[in-house]
Amino acid sequence: MIQRAITTPKPRVESVRQQVYLELRRAMEQGTFKPGTRLPASREQAKTLGVSRNSVLWALERLQSEGYVVARVGDGSYVADDVGALQKPVGARPGKRVPRETLHASIAGSLSQRGQLIADTVLRWNPPLQPAVPFRIGAPEVATFPFALWDRLARQASTPQRMAQAQYLDPAGAPALRDAIAQWLWVSRGIRCEAAQVVVCSGSQQAIDLIGRLLLDVGDEALVEDPGYPGIRASLAGHGVVVRPVPVDAEGLVVEQAATLWPAARLAVVTPTSQFPTGVRMSLKRRLALLDWANAQRAWIVEDDYDGEFQYGTHRLPALCSLPHAERVLYVGTFSKTLHPGLRLGFVVLPHALANAFAMARALTDRHAPGDLQAVLARFITDGHLLRHLRRMRELYPQRQQVLIDALAQASKGRLVLQPSEQGMHLLHELPLGHNDQALSARAQEAGILLAPLSRYTIHSKRRGWLFGYAGYDTAALRKAATSLGTLI
């Protein structure tokens, strides 16, 4: 019986006594040792298992402290009666085992309505392939990131500074970082704001989450671009917000149609500098119409400027919130694209009246961003390293874009010709209406290529095509992936 209940532990990371403990506990939980059963003597167990008696004694003492075993003086050790409750699923009839699939379905069905909305979202997280594989979108260049410089800045912190950063910090963000971001936005994006209006977040996704929780109630309507980023509408839907899709054309979000179809909307989320995923710029006419709509409706505009730093033309388009009468625009930025996503740092620029509420909401979720990261990033910005890094990327990315265009045209023998863009980190090849974009994407994935179909980002839109990320891949990787894709077209 002992040999059937406890097999000789296999070599693993755990210590021998830990293995003995785990095997004994498993035997009790699975019913091999019934409640009230007298356990074999420690010497006998040690001999059977081929381990020292001390290992068995340690395991029994731990099981006794956890309530699995009851020791009776002069009579040995017994399996506690309470262990019987662990040997049958909760709610099961005596003698009948509940299938694992039934238990799983029962647990999954216990989600709240908002939890079910989140679980059913089209957004799915799949661990990225290592190393990164073209043509995944949103991946910045990390191979040439100045890690050594970053580490040097981190080491320059004094002991008192490190001690201060090791404490609970302001949930709105470190004052030095908020001040650096405010100054950077004025120089880079033409945004006039004070440090007190900046709330540091764990990337732009947390900023969207805070906006949905603090500014919208369950049942409120929010406008989103169609096609657009699924993470935005998933976050809003998770808060019980009714997402209303609005078409995107060559000038951006069709504001007039949005105002007509959804007059009760209280918020609109847009990507005006480089619309995701089409890459178009919102025209000045549309920008002004959107501001007029927000001011007339007392609604909010969320400007998601996810890659606004990557504009390659002679003249750079300023941020929407830098325009006059943009008081109802909430500006969301991220360092996931300008630096790298591993930092998990972003920010939202708010009216003064909202900043404290957003800071308190941030405190309720994850308290604050890591202090040491905030301190290094503040130095990275104020010492001019961010500007120099972005200058290098603004030279590198257009070069890689052209390599991608040329390589795909050659590999496909002219059947797949991408149009260049003066902004962004990916290119869109759009198909005529009625075409399918899923089949090639599936074949490409089988060949080890990440080719996102445009249909993945649509709600009601019938637009189809493929997205080609190029920013995070060197010349050799882009050409290799283009050659492989050319054989599939």
Could you read off the pLDDT of 430-481 as tens digits, one per residue?
999 989 999 999 999 999 999 999 999 999 999 999 999 999 999 999 999 9
Supply the DSSP string of 53-89, one letter for each residue.
HHHHHHHHHHHHHTTSEEEETTTEEEE-GGGGGGGS-
Distance (Å, whole) CA 345 – CA 200: 7
Return the SS3 of 139.
Answer: coil
Contact indicator for 352, 404 with CB cutoff of 8 Å: no
pLDDT digits (tens, 9 = 90+) for 394-440: 999 999 999 999 999 999 999 999 999 999 999 999 999 989 999 99
pTM beyond 0.85: no
Find the distance separating the first CA and the last CA of the chain, reported in whole Å.
63
Percent of the chain with pLDDT over 70: 90
DSSP collapsed to 3 states, 27-48: HHHCCCCCCCCECCCHHHHHHH
Residues β-bridged to residue 347 = 200, 333
Split at pLDDT 50, 70, 90, the class of 13 is low
What angle (nearest 5°) sits at the alpha carbon of residue 252, between those of residues 249 and 258? 85
Q: Among candidates 201, 162, 165, 166, which has minimal Cα distance to 181?
A: 201
Contact 37, 2 (CB under 8 A): no
Helix (H, G, I), strand (E, B) or coil at 182: helix
Of 137, 218, 244, 138, nearest to 459 (Cα)? 244
